[in-house]
Amino acid sequence: MILITDGGSTKCDWIAIDKDGNQFGDKIRTKGLNPAIVAEKKINKIIKKSKALMAIAEDVTHVYFYGAGCGTDKPRLSLQFVLESYFVNAKVEVKEDTYAAVRSCINTNDEAAVVCILGTGSNCSYYDGSNLHQRVSSLGFILMDDASGNYFGKQLIRDYFFNKMPDTIRVAFAHKHNLDADFIKYNVYKQANPSAYLADHAEFMFINKDSEYISNLITKGIRLFAENMILQFKQELEQGVPVHFAGSIAFFAQAEIKQVAEELGFKVGNFVRRPIEGLVNYHVNNL
């Protein structure tokens, strides 16, 4: 049995398949397991709490975990150690979530492309057909993550408190979310996963996209991401490589992404909302 995991900061999706790609049971979902921000003790607790994972643990022969926060050795190896302690009969491979985006987005295994992630967090890499290249080191959600869910959530909250929202949007936002100042500060400064908390507010944008304020907010964030992240690969873009996008923010902001792409002169490729679906095909074809 093969277990493939798309691990974000907010949630993890797990799919168990056989060598032919046939799925065992339903997709399993747990809380996010970003090892850069979630303590090892908490990761253990989340995995152990999943009855569905514990039920198949001994039957798993391969674990392919793609996760946020797995781009550097210390958190990656920490998570790998935890996974090996539960899936004792499995070969465990842990890679950063960028590889999940690449493998689910590209049309062929050796296709060169710029691949972006716009989900709870954001990232951008160049895949040359075999290796992944990043020219900007990620500094996490406080200093970077333009156009991510947590970026947009923060912008919405700031605009609410700075009275920059139109009245109708302001009322709707307050109706959907608890905007008590002490509640917000508690979740941002004292809870374990503030990026996921902020990202939870981003859904509001996509159910209010007919608002000019919301449309401008999305476009501004996408433009910022493109200028800071995508255009670092300007030389590759001039050679005509496509720019693929993975993640829910990208999926629902396709119109704004295409608008910015036309402005800045890069070619948009594929949009994948949930990378795990493309990963199943990749691993079946590469066993």
CB 63, CB 81: distance < 8 Å = no
What is the rounded (10 degree) CA torsion for 108, 132, 140, 216?
-50
104-118 residue pLDDT tens: 999 888 899 999 999
Comparing 140 with 213, the larger pLDDT belongs to: 213
* Confidence check: pLDDT of 185 > 90: yes
The mean pLDDT of the chain is: 93
| pLDDT at residue 212 in the model | 96
| Confidence grade of residue 275 (pLDDT, cut at 50, 70, 90) | confident
* Confidence check: pLDDT of 277 > 80: no
222-266 residue pLDDT tens: 999 999 999 999 999 999 999 999 999 999 999 999 999 999 999
| pLDDT at residue 2 in the model | 94
| pLDDT at residue 3 in the model | 95
CB atoms within 10 A of CB 162: 8
Comparing 11 with 81, the larger pLDDT belongs to: 81
| pLDDT at residue 287 in the model | 63
| pLDDT at residue 224 in the model | 98
DSSP label at residue 118: E
| pLDDT at residue 71 in the model | 83
Compute the distance between CA of residue 184 and CA of residue 7 in angstroms, rounded to an integer: 25
Average pLDDT over residues 130-152: 91
| pLDDT at residue 21 in the model | 83
Residue ranges of domains in the chain: 2-101+276-285
- Determine the topology of domain 2-101+276-285 in CATH: Nucleotidyltransferase; domain 5 (3.30.420)
Average pLDDT over residues 70-74: 89
